């Protein structure tokens, strides 16, 4: 019984609109806020409405007072006992309104949940509670939820997750510079000592200090506009490494002067510093890389490849012989000079990558099947593989780049990207949800409703 109570108290459906957790935005399941507590429909016939009473009208839908009362009771069980009754009731109603608006938006956009998606959602939810699907369904019945009601609740929660992903996650963009700056800030907060790899341009002013500064400011602007910093250093720097493009290899911050270490510490990778006046020199820096000393750079490394591919499948009108002939012809055209990406867009049967020119991105070599791995290992960047046998036909691969990645460092970067993504999703999600509410017709019909400042969703 204790186990069932824990499941029932996962999170009540009245909190389903919160974006603070961001799980339903990023995990793909959209079931993080699901509860086994039974819920009554906010639809129904007008006769039921007149008996039950309407708490709010939301566009062409309604929220019944019985649903609101049930959601408030669930919120009390979640530990909100010290919040004044009218405040909690108003907050819960706000959340139910947002849930209604999200479901209405999903309907307008034609978003649906297939039977297979629903089955996968139930499996994920059961697994997250350490149950089999059969055990989970049995637990639902013990909470007076029929299988039909259970599926209805889960389907709604998945619809909300889908409409959020479509309207919010598509707007989330995290750049490598964002990750670099996030990790740098973390290192500063944690007192991590770094070493740096950078280029520098050094000017030694004579009597015309102002003239030299203007010259260096001009070089800085040219570098920020895309000019090659190493070339600028070779032509203009009077420093000891000028012939090598001003390159200074990995140097601990403790071995650098305080102004230089501070300037590098404030740069993201690829960033250009302001002009630094140190002693009788003017210095301009470009950060090439940063590593924690004895930190995340140590650890196992893996080889990764960046590849494109073209998939030619057999189908009802193209048998295996014809598919092979088409693949051979396409490879011949690519070898003769046709763009691999253009051919992939036109012919590849992998629709998930065809629009991107067959781009698969970076793949860890050990994750590729052994036969294909051997073929790729014999390619140089820019080369195209022979026609390879694939699951449903044939495949052509182009190796674009090869690199060695530090697993510990990449894992840290992935965590940083996830944290930044969740934060950005929360911010964009709140904006989107406020917009949904602002554009809706809403008629609040309960007494003593207290609007939350700025309509505080999920707080």
Q: What per-residue confidence (pLDDT) applies to 147? A: 86
- One DSSP character per residue, 16-54 reads TT--SS-HHHHSSS--TT---S----S---HHHHHHH-E
Fold of 193-292: Chitinase A; domain 3 (3.10.50)
pLDDT band at residue 220 using 50, 70 and 90 as cut-offs: very high
Residues written for the chain: 459
- pLDDT tens, position by position, 402-412: 988 777 777 88
pTM of this structure: 0.51
42: pLDDT strictly greater than 50: no
In CATH, 301-407 is 3.30.70.1140: no
Residue 39 confidence class, pLDDT cut points 50, 70, 90: very low
Q: In the prediction, which pLDDT does 32 show?
A: 45
Q: Is the pLDDT of residue 160 over 80?
A: yes
Which of 22-31, 141-150, 275-284 has the least mean pLDDT? 22-31
Over 70: is that where the pLDDT of 21 sits? Answer: no
Q: What is the mean pLDDT of the chain?
A: 82
Ranges of CATH 3.10.50.40 domains, the chain: 193-292, 301-407
Contacts made by residues 353-360, CB under 8 angstroms, sequence distance 24+: 353/308, 353/309, 357/308, 358/308, 358/309, 358/310, 358/398, 359/308, 360/306, 360/307, 360/308, 360/309
Beta bridge partners of 195: 252, 291
Q: Please, are residues 99 and 13 in contact by the beta-carbon 8 Å criterion?
A: yes
Diameter of the chain by CA atoms? 92
The per-residue pLDDT for range 113-140, each reduced to its tens digit, is: 998 889 988 888 888 888 898 898 888 8
Domain with CATH 1.10.4030.10 in the chain: 2-167
Q: Between the ranges 21-25, 27-31, 262-266, 360-364, where is the mean pLDDT highest?
A: 360-364
pLDDT computed for residue 318 by the predictor: 93
Identify whether the C-beta of residue 392 lies closer than 8 Å to the C-beta of residue 314.
yes
Res 346 pLDDT > 60: yes
Banded model confidence at residue 206, pLDDT cuts 50, 70, 90: low
Q: Does the structural domain 2-167 have CATH classification 3.90.950.20?
A: no
Taking 80 as the threshold, does the pLDDT of residue 81 lie above it?
no
Band (pLDDT 50/70/90 cuts) for residue 375 is: very high
What strands lie across the sheet with 54-58, from one edge to the other?
Answer: 61-64, 54-58, 442-444
């Amino acid at each position: 019984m204790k186990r069932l109570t824990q499941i029932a108290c996962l999170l009540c459906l009245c909190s389903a609109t919160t974006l603070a957790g961001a799980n339903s935005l990023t995990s793909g399941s959209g079931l993080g806020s699901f509860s086994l507590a039974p819920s009554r429909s906010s639809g129904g016939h007008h006769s039921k409405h007149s008996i039950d009473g309407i708490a709010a009208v939301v566009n062409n839908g309604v929220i019944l007072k019985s649903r609101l009362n049930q959601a408030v009771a669930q919120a009390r069980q979640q530990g909100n006992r010290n919040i004044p009754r009218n405040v909690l009731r108003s907050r819960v109603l706000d959340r139910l309104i947002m849930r209604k608006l999200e479901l209405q938006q999903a309907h307008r956009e034609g978003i649906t949940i297939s039977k297979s998606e629903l089955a996968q959602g139930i499996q994920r939810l059961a697994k997250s509670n350490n149950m089999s699907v059969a055990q989970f369904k049995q637990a639902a019945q013990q909470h007076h939820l029929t299988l039909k009601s259970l599926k209805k609740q889960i389907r709604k929660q998945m619809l909300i997750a889908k409409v959020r992903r479509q309207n919010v996650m598509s707007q989330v963009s995290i750049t490598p510079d964002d990750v670099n700056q996030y990790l740098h800030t973390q290192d500063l907060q944690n007192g991590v000592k770094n070493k740096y790899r950078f280029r520098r341009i050094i000017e030694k002013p004579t009597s015309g200090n102002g003239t030299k500064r203007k010259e260096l400011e001009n070089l800085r602007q040219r570098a920020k506009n895309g000019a090659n910093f190493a070339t600028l250093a070779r032509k203009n720097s009077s420093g000891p490494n000028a012939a090598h493009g001003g390159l200074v290899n990995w140097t601990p911050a403790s071995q650098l002067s305080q102004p230089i270490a501070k300037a590098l510490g404030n740069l993201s990778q690829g960033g250009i510093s302001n002009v630094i006046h140190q002693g009788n020199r003017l210095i301009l820096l470009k950060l090439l890389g940063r590593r924690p000393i004895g930190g995340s750079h140590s650890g196992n490394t893996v080889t990764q490849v960046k590849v494109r591919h073209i998939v030619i499948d057999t189908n009802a009108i193209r048998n295996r012989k014809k598919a092979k002939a088409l693949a051979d012809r396409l490879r011949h055209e690519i070898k003769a000079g046709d763009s691999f990406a253009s051919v992939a867009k036109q012919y590849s049967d992998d629709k998930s990558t065809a629009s991107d020119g067959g781009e698969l991105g970076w793949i860890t070599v050990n994750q590729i099947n052994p036969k294909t791995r051997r073929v790729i290992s014999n390619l140089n960047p820019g080369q195209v593989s022979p026609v390879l046998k694939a699951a449903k036909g044939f495949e052509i691969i182009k190796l674009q780049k090869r690199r060695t990645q530090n697993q510990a460092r990449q894992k840290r970067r992935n965590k940083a990207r996830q944290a930044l993504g969740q934060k950005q999703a929360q911010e964009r999600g709140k904006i989107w949800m406020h917009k949904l509410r602002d554009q809706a017709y809403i008629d609040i019909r309960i007494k003593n409703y207290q609007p939350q400042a700025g309509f505080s969703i999920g707080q």
